Structures are given as C-alpha cells and as structure tokens.
Amino acid sequence: MKQLLLLVLAAALAPAAAQAQTAPAASATQEAILPTGAVAAPQPAAAATATTSGAPLIARAPETPAANPNAIKVKAEVNAATGRLTVKTDNPGPTRVELTDVGGRPVLTHTMMNGQTAAILNVSQLPAGSYIVRCTAYEKTGMRKVRIGQ
C-alpha cells in the first residue's frame, strides 16, 4: 500500500519537477502583479522596474479607507480660569453632549439644538482630572478627551 501511494505521489510531482528544472532562475526574472490582479509576464531583472511605458510593475498601495460616515467631529476646549467647557461639533442638527469620567460614569449631560453653535458648560464644580466628551446625534457619535482643572 505504501509503495502504491509513493508511486502515485511521484507521478504527480514529476511534471512539476521537470518544469522547475526548465524554468529560468528566480534571480534572473521577476513577475509583477498588475492593479487589475493579473500577473505580468516575467521580465529580466534589469527591466523589472519599468514596463515599456515606463510605469512601475508593482501595483500601488490601496487608498486609505474613507472616514467613518457615522462619526461626528468634536472640538472641546476647557478654560481653566472661568471653569467653562466649550463644545462644538460638525453636526447641523440636535446633538446630545455627555461628559463622563474615565470610569465611564456620566457626570454632565446637555442637548445642543445646533451642533455647529458652541455649547458652553460649567465644569467648575468637577474635580480635576481627565474626562471624555461624547457627542451623539441619531446614529452618529464622536468623542474627545479633555483635562479639567489641570
């Protein structure tokens, strides 16, 4: 049984071995993957950096993925002298602003009727530390970390 298996395996590998012996050395030729996904014909190593048109054979890196369409840009600034937090977003409609501590517990909430108009929140009574400003409008959200009293 083992001999039969070895015979079948040898018969299957024989064409691949013969083809490998007749193929040119890998250092002498290079293949290129084109942007369409097709493999370009092998070319000598000296000519592998450019095609006949002068463009490189190596496909360009994919573009950076688009930004999340459900993200809201949040701008938050703390004025330590007055104890005020100014929040502004790029959302044109009603936006809920929630200030949470680093443990995720809500500390302050506010609803802005127009996110592009700045909301000014009194944070003078909050202990010094880091907080997260989370703005939500329907399915869109955005966050920003702020430091208060430091």
Q: Please give the chain's pLDDT, 150 residues, in tens.
A: 667 666 776 777 766 655 555 545 444 455 666 655 566 666 555 544 445 555 557 766 666 666 777 788 888 888 888 889 999 888 888 999 999 998 999 999 999 988 778 889 999 999 999 999 999 998 889 999 999 886
The confidence score (pLDDT) of residue 20 equals: 55
Is 13 among the domain residues? no
For the chain, counts of helices (H) and of strands (E): 1, 9
Q: Among the three residues 9, 41, 65, which one is the final residue of a domain in this structure?
A: 65
- Check whether residue 82 and residue 121 sit in a common domain: yes
Is 109 among the domain residues? yes
Is 120 among the domain residues? yes
Q: Do 131 and 99 form a contact (C-beta atoms < 8 A)?
A: yes
Bridge partners of residue 48, in order along the sequence:
none
Domain that holds residue 35: 27-65
Is 93 among the domain residues? yes
Is 20 among the domain residues? no
Q: Do 114 and 93 form a contact (C-beta atoms < 8 A)?
A: yes
Number of structural domains, the chain?
Answer: 2
